[in-house]
């Protein structure tokens, strides 16, 4: 489960970067960024390693 969460977080950061630099979707991109950061923080706080 942790690996899937980490993968989703990384994908969201990539999509955010693409949207931020390529498209102008608005607040949706920033919501994706916030979700990705929360997922990464949950991964770090849980203390599990790859």
pLDDT per position as a tens digit, 5-41: 788 888 888 887 777 666 665 667 777 778 888 888 8
Query: With 60 as the cut, is the pLDDT of residue 50 above it?
Result: no
Report the first-to-last Cα separation within the chain, whole angstroms: 12
Q: How confident is the model at residue 4 (pLDDT cuts 50, 70, 90)?
A: confident
Single pTM value for the model: 0.46
What average pLDDT does this structure show over 36-49? 80
Q: How confident is the model at residue 48 (pLDDT cuts 50, 70, 90)?
A: low
Give me 12's structure tokens: 């969201």
What distance in Å separates the CA atoms of residue 33 and residue 37, rounded to the nearest whole number? 6
Cβ-in-10-Å burial (0-12, 13-18, 19+) of 12 comes to: buried
């Amino acid at each position: 489960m942790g690996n899937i969460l980490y993968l989703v977080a990384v994908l969201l950061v990539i999509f955010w970067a693409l949207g931020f630099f390529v498209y102008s979707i608005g607040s949706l991109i920033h919501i994706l960024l916030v979700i990705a950061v929360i997922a990464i923080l949950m991964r770090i706080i849980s203390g599990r390693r790859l």
